[in-house]
Chain A
C-alpha cells in the first residue's frame, strides 16, 4: 500500500464541533462544572482551601477503585468484591504494622501482595475456568469479608500512626518556605501546568504533521490558558491550606498511568476489543483469557492500593471497612459514560463521575443535610447520567 501524499492541509475545528462530536464525554464534564458552580454559590465554605483538600482525601479511594473498575467494566465484566478486598488488605497491613510492630512499608508490601493474590485467584476463575465475573466476585465478596473478620479476630486494630498515617493524611509543604502560602506547592503546580501545556502542544504538532483536524489556534491557546488557570487556582487553594496532599500525588500519578494504559497500549485496546465484540476480538488474534486474567489481577492490585489509602485515612482497620465501596466505584464508571454491556468507557470519565458524587456528598454535608439524603442524591445522579447517555445514543443513532 503506498501512501498518497496530499498537500499539507490542516483543518481546524470550532468549539461547537468539539463539544457535539464528543457529547458523551463532554456532557458529564458540563454536568460536573454546573454542580461545582452551584455548590460554590450555595456554600461559601465549599471553595475554602481546607475543603478542597478534604474532598480529595475523602474520595481518593473511590477514584482509585474506579480506575480498575473501568477496565473491568469495559471488558464487559463486573467486580463486586472490591469493598471486601479493601477491608482485607487494610486488615493485613494493620496486623503487620500494628500487631507485629513492623515498619510501614512492610505493611504496604503485605497489602499489595494480598491484593495481587486476590486478583490472581479471581482472574483464574474468570479467565481460565470461564465463570462470569459477577459470580466469581460475588463469591469473592463473601470470602474476603469472612477472611477480614478472621485476620482481625473480629475487632478493630488502631492506630497506625507514623508514615502509614501520612499516606492519606500527610502533605508536602514547607520545602521552600513561604508567607502563609506554601511556595513549594505553587512551584509544583506551576511545573505541572507547564508540562501539561507542553504535552498538549506536542500532541497538536503531531496531529498537524499527520494532517488531522485540530482546534483553531485561538481556541487552543484559550483552552490552555483556561486549564492552566484552573490548575494554578487549585494549587493556590492547596498552598494556602496545608500544602500538597500526598494522596493527590498518588491519584494523579495513577490517573496518568491508567489513561495511557487504556488508550495507548495494546493491552488497553484489547480490553476495548473484547468488550466491544468478543468473537471478533478472538478472530483478530486477541488472547482473550490472558487479557481477562490481567484485568482482574490489576483490579486486585488497585483494591489493595485503595485498601492502604482507606485504612490510612481511618488510621485503623475494621472488620466492616469498605462496605459498599464496590457500588460507589461502579456508579462512578457508569456516571462517567461507561456502557453496561462493555466496550465503551474512559478512565477520565470515571474520574469525573467519582468527583461528581464526591462534590454532591460534600456540599450536602456542608449545608447540613442529613446523611441519608446523600445516598438518595447519588442514586438519582446515577439514573440521570445513564438516562442522558441513552438519550444521547438514540439521538446519534437516529442521525445515522
Chain B
C-alpha cells in the first residue's frame, strides 16, 4: 500500500515541556488509522501539528503528504491540501441551518459574488445524503442531536474535498446507535477512497474499525500495530498506553455492607420546559453504608436527570417523592440542603458543571465546603491551602502547585479536583456521574481506588455510568433505568452485560397501569424473566 502521509521525527516543545519527541506516524492511502494513548500523551498536539494549528517552524521534523513535503502555516493551508480535522468539541453555529454550517467559510457564490442559497441547499442536500443524514438542509443545527451534528461536520469536510479526515474522539458523546452509524460511515468513506485518522479511547471501537493503530505515550511513538494480526489485543494496547501491565483494571475490594443510608422513594420529575412530560417516573432506590451502587442506563434514559433532581432540584420541575438519610426525611430542594444532608454529586460534565476553570485548584477544592473554613466571618486562607495540599497528596493530583489554574490540568486530574471538592464536604453519600468519562486508563484506576476508600470508610457511593464493564467491576448492586423508570435491580454476582442491556432497553408496556406504586415491582419481576412482546411506544408519551 502506498503512503498518503508520513510524519517524520516530529518534536514539539512548549516552554518547559516536551509535548512530542521524535514521533513518527505513517498512514497508508485509503486506510483507517487509529491513534491511541492516555490523555496528555500528545495525540492532540500531533494532530495540531499536522493540521497547521501549530505552523511550520514551531516544531521540528517534516511532514510528507502525498509524496511531497508540506509546510502549513495555518489550518487553511492544510484544508487546501485536503486534510480536515473534526474536533471533539464540534465547531458548529447552533442558530444557523445545516446548509449554512456546511458551507460556512466556503460559501457557494452565485452571480455578482452573492451567496446562492438555492444552490447551496441543493449541494448540502447531496452531501447530507452521502453521510446518511435525512433532514431538511434549512433546519437549524441546534434542533439536531449530537450524533447528527457530528454527521454535519463530516458533510462539511466532504464539501472541502477531503482526502485525509482526522476525527478526534468522534464517538465520545454519542450513544451506541449513533456511534455504530458513524463507524459505518467511516467505513463507507474508506470505500470511497478517503483516508481517516481516528483518535479514540474506546479500545473496542478501535479493534472493530481500524486497519492499523499507533500507540503514543508521553510524547513518543510506542508502536504501530496491524490490527489484523492476532497478537494485536486490547491488553497489548493498554500495556502500550500505560507502560505497564494492567492485569486488574479494577482494584480489589471486600464489601462490608451495613444499614441503608440513602433511600429515595417514589421520585417523579417533570421536564423543565415541556409541561406534562415525565422524565423520571416513580423511581425508588436505596444505597447502604459501605456499598457501591450502580445506575446503568442508555443516554437519555434519565440517569443524570435523576441524580441532578435529587441534588437540590437542579433539574426538572414538579418534583415529588421522598429522600431519606438514615431513615429520616431530608430536604434536598436546594443544593445547600442536599449538602447539609451529607449528599454530594459529581457531575458528568466537569468543565461545564464541575469547575471554575478561571480559578486555581485550591479555590476549586474549597468551593463547596467553604463554610468549613470560616473563622469569625473570615476565610482562613492558610487552612484552605493546607487542605488543598492534603487532597493533592492523597488523591495524587499531578500539578506543581495547588495555586495552578485548574483549566491547565488534564481530564483525569480535573476529575480528581472535582472529587476533592466533594470529599471535603465529608459526604455520607457520594453520587458519581460518569466518573471516568474522557480520562485515561491509569487515572481511571486511581478513581476506582478512591471509590473503594470511600466505602471502606463506611460511606455509600452511587456510580452512574454507561460503561457496563465499569459498573460490573466496581459495584455491589446495579439498578437499571430506561425511559425514566427504574426497570431492574441486580446484585453484581447475577449481573452480566447481557442481562443489564436487556433491562436498560425495556420499554413501558401497555399492560401496566400508567401511574401506580407497584409499577416498579411489576417491572422488576418481569425484567428478570423476559422481554415483553407487546410494546407500546405511546405509553411513553403520556
A interface with B by C-beta (< 8 Å): 1, 3-4, 206-207, 209-210, 212, 260, 263-266, 269-270, 272-273, 275-277, 279-287, 339, 343-344, 398-400
Give me the 5 closest cross-chain CB pairs, A-B, nearest first.
A276-B356, A210-B382, A343-B358, A284-B368, A285-B335
Q: Are B335 and A3 in contact (CB under 8 A)?
A: no
Write the chain B residue with the least CB distance to A270: B370
Q: Are B336 and A285 in contact (CB under 8 A)?
A: yes
Cα of A163 to Cα of B239 in the assembled complex, Å: 80
Q: Are A206 and B335 in contact (CB under 8 A)?
A: no
B480 on the A face (CB < 8 A): no
Cα of A398 to Cα of B12 in the assembled complex, Å: 12
**Quick one: which of B135-168 are within 8 Å of A by CB?**
none
Write the chain A residue with the least CB distance to B426: A1
Cα of A283 to Cα of B374 in the assembled complex, Å: 20
Cα of A283 to Cα of B421 in the assembled complex, Å: 11
B183 on the A face (CB < 8 A): no
Q: Are A284 and B367 in contact (CB under 8 A)?
A: yes
Q: Are B379 and A269 in contact (CB under 8 A)?
A: yes
Chain B residues, Cβ within 8 Å of A275: 358
Taking the nearest CB of chain A, how far is it from the CB of B162, in angstroms?
A: 29
Chain B residues, Cβ within 8 Å of A260: 378
- Counting chain B CB atoms within 10 Å of each CB, the highest count among A266, A281, A285 belongs to A285
Cα of A284 to Cα of B345 in the assembled complex, Å: 9
Q: Are B357 and A277 in contact (CB under 8 A)?
A: yes
| Other-chain contact of A265, B338, B363, B379 (Cβ < 8 Å) | B379
Chain B residues, Cβ within 8 Å of A269: 363, 367, 370, 379
Q: Are A282 and B357 in contact (CB under 8 A)?
A: no
Cα of A4 to Cα of B382 in the assembled complex, Å: 16
| Other-chain contact of A284, B378, B386, B421, B423 (Cβ < 8 Å) | B421
- 8 A-B pairs with CB atoms under 8 Å apart are A1-B391, A3-B386, A212-B385, A260-B378, A275-B358, A287-B334, A287-B336, A343-B356
Interface string of B371-397 (1 = CB under 8 A from A): 100100111011101100011011000
Of the stretches B194-202, B291-299, B347-355, B459-467, the one at the interface is B347-355
Cα of A279 to Cα of B378 in the assembled complex, Å: 25
| Other-chain contact of B354, A283, A339, A400 (Cβ < 8 Å) | A283
Q: Are A285 and B14 in contact (CB under 8 A)?
A: no
Cα of A279 to Cα of B335 in the assembled complex, Å: 12
Contacts A3-B386, A287-B336 given; does A280 touch B356 at CB 8 Å? yes
B15 on the A face (CB < 8 A): yes
B29 on the A face (CB < 8 A): no
- List 10 additional A-B contacts (Cβ < 8 Å) besides A4-B390, A212-B382: A1-B391, A206-B382, A209-B382, A210-B382, A269-B367, A273-B356, A277-B357, A284-B421, A344-B358, A400-B408
Chain A residues, Cβ within 8 Å of B367: 269, 273, 280-281, 284, 286
Q: What class of interface size applies to chain B in its complex with A?
A: 35 or more
Chain B residues, Cβ within 8 Å of A273: 356, 359, 367
B479 on the A face (CB < 8 A): no
Cα of A218 to Cα of B14 in the assembled complex, Å: 34
B55 on the A face (CB < 8 A): no
- Counting chain B CB atoms within 10 Å of each CB, the highest count among A284, A343, A344 belongs to A284
Q: Are A339 and B358 in contact (CB under 8 A)?
A: yes
- Counting chain A CB atoms within 10 Å of each CB, the highest count among B339, B370, B374 belongs to B370
Taking the nearest CB of chain A, how far is it from the CB of B229, in angstroms?
A: 38
Taking the nearest CB of chain B, how far is it from the CB of A385, in angstroms?
A: 19
Taking the nearest CB of chain B, how far is it from the CB of A262, in angstroms?
A: 11
Cα of A2 to Cα of B499 in the assembled complex, Å: 41
B73 on the A face (CB < 8 A): no
Contacts A212-B385, A276-B358 given; does A1 touch B353 at CB 8 Å? no
Q: Are A276 and B359 in contact (CB under 8 A)?
A: yes
Q: Are B311 and A283 in contact (CB under 8 A)?
A: yes
Cα of A41 to Cα of B354 in the assembled complex, Å: 52
Q: Are B386 and A210 in contact (CB under 8 A)?
A: yes
Taking the nearest CB of chain B, how far is it from the CB of A219, in angstroms?
A: 19
Q: Are B371 and A266 in contact (CB under 8 A)?
A: yes
The main secondary structure of chain A at its interface with chain B is helix
Cα of A392 to Cα of B286 in the assembled complex, Å: 51
Q: Are A265 and B377 in contact (CB under 8 A)?
A: yes
Chain B residues, Cβ within 8 Å of A283: 311-312, 314, 335, 345, 347, 353-354
Q: Are A207 and B356 in contact (CB under 8 A)?
A: no
Contacts A398-B14, A399-B16 given; does A280 touch B382 at CB 8 Å? no
Q: Are A285 and B382 in contact (CB under 8 A)?
A: no
Chain A residues, Cβ within 8 Å of B335: 282-286
Cα of A279 to Cα of B349 in the assembled complex, Å: 11
Cα of A270 to Cα of B366 in the assembled complex, Å: 11
Q: Are B353 and A280 in contact (CB under 8 A)?
A: yes
Cα of A266 to Cα of B336 in the assembled complex, Å: 14
Taking the nearest CB of chain B, how far is it from the CB of A212, in angstroms?
A: 6
Chain B residues, Cβ within 8 Å of A287: 334, 336
Contacts A3-B390, A284-B335, A400-B408 given; does A265 touch B356 at CB 8 Å? no
Chain A residues, Cβ within 8 Å of B359: 272-273, 276, 343
Cα of A284 to Cα of B353 in the assembled complex, Å: 9
Taking the nearest CB of chain A, how far is it from the CB of B18, in angstroms?
A: 13
Taking the nearest CB of chain A, how far is it from the CB of B40, in angstroms?
A: 11
Chain A residues, Cβ within 8 Å of B311: 283
Q: Are B394 and A280 in contact (CB under 8 A)?
A: no
Cα of A287 to Cα of B383 in the assembled complex, Å: 24
Write the chain B residue with the least CB distance to A283: B353
Write the chain A residue with the least CB distance to B338: A285
Contacts A212-B385, A272-B356, A339-B358 given; does A398 touch B378 at CB 8 Å? no
Write the chain A residue with the least CB distance to B379: A264
Cα of A200 to Cα of B6 in the assembled complex, Å: 59
Cα of A266 to Cα of B363 in the assembled complex, Å: 11
Taking the nearest CB of chain B, how far is it from the CB of A12, in angstroms?
A: 15
**Quick one: which of B325-340 are within 8 Å of A by CB?**
334-336, 338-339
Cα of A343 to Cα of B367 in the assembled complex, Å: 14
**Quick one: which of B1-46 are within 8 Å of A by CB?**
14-16
Taking the nearest CB of chain A, how far is it from the CB of B418, in angstroms?
A: 9
Chain A residues, Cβ within 8 Å of B383: 210
Write the chain B residue with the least CB distance to A342: B358
Q: Are B352 and A280 in contact (CB under 8 A)?
A: yes
Taking the nearest CB of chain B, how far is it from the CB of A230, in angstroms?
A: 25
Taking the nearest CB of chain B, how far is it from the CB of A330, in angstroms?
A: 19
- Counting chain A CB atoms within 10 Å of each CB, the highest count among B314, B358, B377, B386 belongs to B358
Taking the nearest CB of chain B, how far is it from the CB of A260, in angstroms?
A: 7
Cα of A1 to Cα of B454 in the assembled complex, Å: 11
Chain B residues, Cβ within 8 Å of A263: 381
Q: Are A285 and B339 in contact (CB under 8 A)?
A: yes
Chain B residues, Cβ within 8 Å of A1: 390-391, 394, 423
Interface string of B410-430 (1 = CB under 8 A from A): 000000000001010000000
Chain A residues, Cβ within 8 Å of B16: 399
Write the chain A residue with the least CB distance to B368: A284
Chain A residues, Cβ within 8 Å of B385: 210, 212
Taking the nearest CB of chain B, how far is it from the CB of A306, in angstroms?
A: 26
Cα of A179 to Cα of B390 in the assembled complex, Å: 59
Taking the nearest CB of chain A, how far is it from the CB of B5, in angstroms?
A: 26
Cα of A21 to Cα of B393 in the assembled complex, Å: 23
Cα of A398 to Cα of B58 in the assembled complex, Å: 12
Cα of A269 to Cα of B356 in the assembled complex, Å: 12
Cα of A344 to Cα of B358 in the assembled complex, Å: 7
Q: Are B312 and A264 in contact (CB under 8 A)?
A: no
Chain A residues, Cβ within 8 Å of B391: 1
Cα of A210 to Cα of B352 in the assembled complex, Å: 33
Write the chain A residue with the least CB distance to B311: A283
Cα of A266 to Cα of B390 in the assembled complex, Å: 21
Write the chain B residue with the least CB distance to A212: B385
Cα of A273 to Cα of B363 in the assembled complex, Å: 9
Chain A residues, Cβ within 8 Å of B15: 398-399
Cα of A212 to Cα of B345 in the assembled complex, Å: 31
Taking the nearest CB of chain B, how far is it from the CB of A354, in angstroms?
A: 23
| Other-chain contact of A282, B314, B379, B408 (Cβ < 8 Å) | B314
Cα of A260 to Cα of B345 in the assembled complex, Å: 31
- Counting chain A CB atoms within 10 Å of each CB, the highest count among B16, B359, B423 belongs to B359
